[in-house]
Every structure is written in C-alpha cells, then in structure tokens.
Structure 1
C-alpha cells in the first residue's frame, strides 16, 4: 500500500518533529511554560514577576540524543605462517649415537634397496650404489661408516611448524592360525583384491594431483566408496563376499592387527606356513582404534597399546564389530611366494628386523637410508641407521616413522608398546638435495 501525503498543514506543538520554519516560536512557548511551572512549584517566597519576552529558541538547551552504537569489526587474524622447509642440512656430529651404532647390520638392507630404486632416484643414487656394490656385502662397521660419511650428507627432517620431533611407532609380522576352508573354528576370511575394486590415478587426469589416488566401486555409472571394514566384517554369507577368500583364520582379533601391520604369516594345521603380503586397500582412510577407545573412556592413553586393545576386545566380544568398524580401512592381501623367511615391504624388498622402517613416501623416498634417534619405553636410547623400505596407512607426515621389529611374539610385544617421540635424518648423496617433501 502507498501512503498519500496528509492534507493537514498546521504544525503540531512538538518543535523537534516539524518543519524548521515553525520551531523558534513553538520552542519559545514551551520554554516559557516550563519556567512558569517550576516557579509555581517553588517552596520559597516567589520574587516579583516581571513581564519578559519569550526566551529565544536559541537559548533553550538542545535535546540530548543517544550516541551512535559502533560495532567493532572482527579481530584481525594473525598472518598465516608459511610451512617450514622440510630439510635442514646437518653435520655427522649432530647424529646422536652415530659413532656407537653398528651400521654394518644395515648394509645388506642398503644394498637391497639399491637394487629396487625407482627411476626418479637413479640419477642421484647411481654412483653411490655402484660404489656400495664394489665394497661388497661383508663390509665392516668402520668401512660402512667411512663410506657413508664420505659420500652422503645428513639432512634433518623438520615438521611444518618448524619442530624437530615426531611420532615413532613400531610394527611386526604376526603369525596367525589359518585354514584353506571355512569351518566352525576358522570363520574369518582373508580377502584378496576384489574384481570390482576400481583405482583411479588422479595424476593421469590432473598433473597437479600426481601421486593422488581414489578407490571405489561402480554403482550403475557412478563411482562410489568401496565397502568399509565394518561392512565387510559384518558379512556372514561367503557368497556375498566381494572376492574369494585366500584362506580363513581362527582369531578375528589377531586378523584385525594383521590388517594394521599390513603383512605377516599364516600357519596351517599340517605345519606349513605362507607369507601374507599387502596387495591393496579399500580407499577408506585409516583411523586409530586405540584413539577410538580413548575418546570413549574405554582405555586410558597409557593402556592403549596393542596388548591393551587386544585385552579390551577379548573382554568385550559383543562389541568387537563396533571396534572393527571404528577403522573403515580394509587391507586386501596376496600370498607371497618369494623366497626368504621375512616379509616384503612396499619397496619390494625383504624387511630387515630393527633396520627397516615404514615412512611417508611423500616425505622420505623409499630406499633412502635414514638415521633414527628416540628413547624406548624403558628409557633406553635407540639410535641407529635404518632403511626406508615400507609404508603404512597411519604413517603420514614429515617426522614420522614405523620401526620394524621383525617376526614373532617378542617382536609383537616390543612393537605394541611403542609410541615414542624422536628425530629423523635422511642420508642423501653429496652434491644433490633430497626431493621436496609435501606438508
């Protein structure tokens, strides 16, 4: 509705709401009336009243209006600090325990890594690996130390925020009891890579996404996330499984940790044993079941070791599927028929107990020698030459490593207790710098 102008032209007696031409006379009358009212209310003898002209409007105090409200703007955000450089050149004397280590124990692992170097590392490492092979596999500690100091330069890893320490955990190769057929005793399937698992290398589509992959399955013409760990674990009908099981295992709790470790051994009733190696993954991110238990008040941080989680799972069998589902990542396996008694890492070489480590390959190239320094849970220092020969879904970041303890129950006991803070140096050929690490 449109408002029409009023036909009334006479001013009202409010001097603050009308046209400017009516304000002086009206204001004068109002001020005179207020003066007379105050005089009438006085309790003292009134002074003689003299006729006066009305006080001009200019002498009447102006109305006091409220001050305008000024809303403060948002506080300025602190400037975003650029990520720190991933490497810092160091001297050999900066490596704690370097002179006390026995580097010859890691020498065979270094020679194995030289055989499996990727093409993008050959340029930097070709001359060094050729010289290492000439030195031979039986080199002494002194010879290996002298060789490395003469040809390599230590580079200390630095976190994005500029700090120098990061998380060092441990892993091992478990042994689980298995059967080739499903029985009442062996009910948990070990799945190979399903035919319907689709892997898309995003770098082939967009060069800026080199190294990024997505996994999923087709639902009609749409790529959707693959079945999660919990969904696969909940399948009870073997006909509904996405792939034929390689075998069936007895203990679903031990299989849960085989998934986390990524490789291990299966032992059958006839005494035979096969290696189980990582083949692929369902594309879901790894989430810590230990953190899940801590966040729900089921375990305290000091009890959230592998042993503590296993004890909780055995004490709460009705919640086992809930625990498994907390980590949506599922590992698909293959049987490893290569020779040797150990397990292979992501680089494709057999891991060496207490000399191989899993790393984030975006930060540390696979095959590179490195030096770790941290304290064990009992306080004893662990300072030694290692080889980056494996990866893991939970191993992400710059100063981050997973220390391989080897095979068996004792190795599992050591690995399960580790959650230490430590420092890492990568050893790189002189005359070149390590590749740029991602944040």
Structure 2
C-alpha cells in the first residue's frame, strides 16, 4: 500500500516513451559479487532491519527477525541467512532520492501564512475521484469547513510537500507540527517537469526540483498555472506519535532512516527486505539498505528512491540524484532458490 503520493520529478521524463517491461529474471549472486560489501556498516543496516521486521507475517521472514536479535555479528547475520538475488525486468535501472520537507507556517491564517494545508474532506473518502487541483484551489469548496491543519507561507513549497507526501511545519514559537499523507483527490499525477520540457523551457537534463521552484517564483502567474497542470491534490493528517528525532512513516508505518531506507516497487521487492544498492554517477554509493517504503513513481525491479533525511539540505541532495547502477535484494535462502526456474536448479 502506498502511504503517500510521492511522484519523483524525473519519473515522467524517464518513463515517457519507454517500452513495456520484459519478462522478469532472477539471478542468485554471491556476497563476493557485491561491490563494496565488506566495507559497509552492516550494524546500521541490521538496526534498521530490526525496526521493521516484526511486521512480517511469512514464517521464514519471522524466523529471520527472531534471529536478528540473537546475532552480535551483523555482517555474519546477513551472509549466513540470506542470498543476494538480482531481479531484472528489462527496464534500465534508475535511482532517485526523496526527503522530508520543512516549511514555515502557523496554526492561524495571517498575511504571511496564507496557504492552507488541508485535512481530507469526508466526501473524498467516498469517491474514487474528486475535484481537480484547480477546482479545489479556486472554487471555494474548502472554505469555512475547519479542515485547515495549518497555513504556510509558500505555495510552491506546499506543492512539493504534496509530492513528498509528508513533512514538518515550523511554527513561530519554535515548535513544529508533523503531517503525513491523509488521502488524495484520485486524479493521476502529471509531472510539471515534463510539462516544462514539453513547452521548450528546459531540456530534460536541466530539470530538478530547485529549477522548477525558481521558475515558478520568477513567473508567479504562469507558475501558478503550471502547478495546476497537475490535477492531483494531496490532503494530510497530523502525525503525533513519531518522535521528532525519527524519520517520517514509510509504507510499513515505521519511521524511515536517512540513507538506510529505500522506496521500492513491492511487485518485485518485498517490503522489509534488505537491499544492496550500487548507485553509480557523480557520487557512487555502495550501501545495504532496507525496503521500507513505496512511491507512485517507483515502478520496476531496478527502480528505487533513497531517503535522504529532513530539511533543505537533504532536499537539495535528493533532488540532484538521478543515477543508474544495480539493486540486489537479500532474500531468505529457501525463498531465493525457489524463485529460480527448474531448469537452473
């Protein structure tokens, strides 16, 4: 289940025009085949795995979860009880990043804090598709209903909060309010990055979250219309039970961890499974992570979204990530071999 409607800025650019996915293939590897495996901090990865694995229902995964609390050697735990499986579907690998935004806001509307963060209207939950973004923002349908959680000072940051699906709102007294995905109007996401490329404003390699934000702010009238090109609208809920020092809740309803949690396509990668990521590009990354999240744009066996943390710095780093590489899923031994064709066995 997708906990929030996070749609990566680059997703439409990459997927547009791509061919249908080929047949899925599975290859069992050795840990020696994993580039940089021995140098990683397996203790950190094991701690993240422990935070999530109690939610498994399958007997083999439950057994591994119990064993995770008995091992003192983290690397040995993974090497003895798992096998690395390379799952491929014919699509090119793509690794991007996401983060938890921080916005400035208030609990009351003022001349500065003018843009509302809404709870989900009751009627939305009874319909598969409700009003478009344009109608929600311009028709007055939300007025006077007491659905405002808070008001923020930047409509562009609010738009990107909806893309990420969760975040924090810094209040004037220094405290903060955490919000999480509460629902959507049911309209499909339309990439504004793709739209800027279509209009000839930018080429695909130039588009990033910061580039889009700056363009909208330089062109306030056309910028507002650009944001309304995306009919999808996300509503929120207050998140009170997650400590401020923990990450936002992922698809497993557990906090995600900076640079150790990854969003995947659960059609190919089981949620809660350890994954070995070999990201290439300008800043190569070799790291054991845990598949704790999903996203609307995360589709395919070699598609992943890395959680970078909270705030502007994390957002800038996440927004720059658009690299290839390889993702290998660590599966319980019997489960791994059961995925191979009989001819291979």
TM-score tier by shorter-chain length is 0.7 to 0.9
- What CA distance in whole angstroms lies between the structure 2 residues aligned with 1:230 and 1:166? 35
Are 1:275 and 1:337, in contact at CA under 8 Å, matched by a contact in 2? yes
Matched, 1:157 2:93: no
- What CA distance in whole angstroms lies between the structure 1 residues aligned with 2:66 and 2:320? 39
> What TM-score comes out, normalization by structure 2 length?
0.86
- What CA distance in whole angstroms lies between the structure 1 residues aligned with 2:225 and 2:159? 12
In structure 2, stretches of 5+ residues that fail to align are 1-18, 340-345
Deviation at 1:284, TM superposition (A): 1.9
Residue 231 to residue 238, structure 1, CA distance change in 2 (3 Å): closer
Are 2:54 and 2:62, in contact at CA under 8 Å, matched by a contact in 1? no
- What CA distance in whole angstroms lies between the structure 1 residues aligned with 2:181 and 2:24? 33
Matched, 1:369 2:305: no
SS across alignment from 1:177: strand
Are 2:103 and 2:170, in contact at CA under 8 Å, matched by a contact in 1? yes
Residue 81 to residue 238, structure 1, CA distance change in 2 (3 Å): closer
SS across alignment from 1:352: coil
1:47-58 equivalent positions in 2, closer than 5 A: none
Residue 372 to residue 230, structure 1, CA distance change in 2 (3 Å): farther
- What CA distance in whole angstroms lies between the structure 1 residues aligned with 2:96 and 2:120? 28
Are 1:357 and 1:386, in contact at CA under 8 Å, matched by a contact in 2? yes
Equivalence for 1:358: 263
- What CA distance in whole angstroms lies between the structure 2 residues aligned with 1:82 and 1:273? 43
Which of residues 22, 28, 36 is equivalent to 1:97? Answer: 36
The higher radius of gyration belongs to: 1
Residue 434 to residue 253, structure 1, CA distance change in 2 (3 Å): farther
Which of residues 130, 147, 161 is equivalent to 1:226? Answer: 130
Residue 87 to residue 322, structure 1, CA distance change in 2 (3 Å): farther
Equivalence for 2:108: 181
Matched, 1:131 2:67: yes
User: Which structure ranks higher in relative contact order (CA pairs < 8 Å, sequence separation ≥ 6)?
Assistant: 2
SS across alignment from 2:143: helix
Deviation at 1:127, TM superposition (A): 1.0
Are 2:136 and 2:142, in contact at CA under 8 Å, matched by a contact in 1? no
Equivalence for 2:203: 300
Deviation at 1:339, TM superposition (A): 3.5
1:410-429 equivalent positions in 2, closer than 5 A: 410-429=313-332
Which of residues 361, 386, 390 is equivalent to 2:293? Answer: 390
Residue 228 to residue 147, structure 1, CA distance change in 2 (3 Å): same
Deviation at 1:351, TM superposition (A): 0.9
Q: Deviations over 1:122-173 (max 9, x none)?
A: 22301111000123xxx5xxx21111010001111202x3x5x411111111
Equivalence for 2:212: 309
Deviation at 1:335, TM superposition (A): 1.0
Deviation at 1:403, TM superposition (A): 0.6
Deviation at 1:329, TM superposition (A): 2.0
- What CA distance in whole angstroms lies between the structure 1 residues aligned with 2:219 and 2:327? 39
Are 1:155 and 1:428, in contact at CA under 8 Å, matched by a contact in 2? yes
SS across alignment from 2:324: strand
Deviation at 1:86, TM superposition (A): 4.3
SS across alignment from 1:99: helix
SS across alignment from 1:357: strand
After TM superposition, the runs of 4+ consecutive aligned structure 1 residues lying more than 3 A away are 80-83, 235-238, 433-436
Are 1:286 and 1:394, in contact at CA under 8 Å, matched by a contact in 2? no
Are 1:428 and 1:434, in contact at CA under 8 Å, matched by a contact in 2? no
- What CA distance in whole angstroms lies between the structure 2 residues aligned with 1:434 and 1:402? 27
In structure 1, stretches of 5+ residues that fail to align are 1-79, 200-214, 217-224
Equivalence for 1:269: 172
> What TM-score comes out, normalization by structure 1 length?
0.68
Are 1:233 and 1:321, in contact at CA under 8 Å, matched by a contact in 2? no
Q: Deviations over 1:78-100 (max 9, x none)?
A: xx999322432222222221122
Deviation at 1:326, TM superposition (A): 2.2
Matched, 1:193 2:117: no
1:16-31 equivalent positions in 2, closer than 5 A: none
Equivalence for 1:29: none
Residue 296 to residue 403, structure 1, CA distance change in 2 (3 Å): same
Deviation at 1:315, TM superposition (A): 0.8
Deviation at 1:408, TM superposition (A): 1.6
Deviation at 1:275, TM superposition (A): 1.2
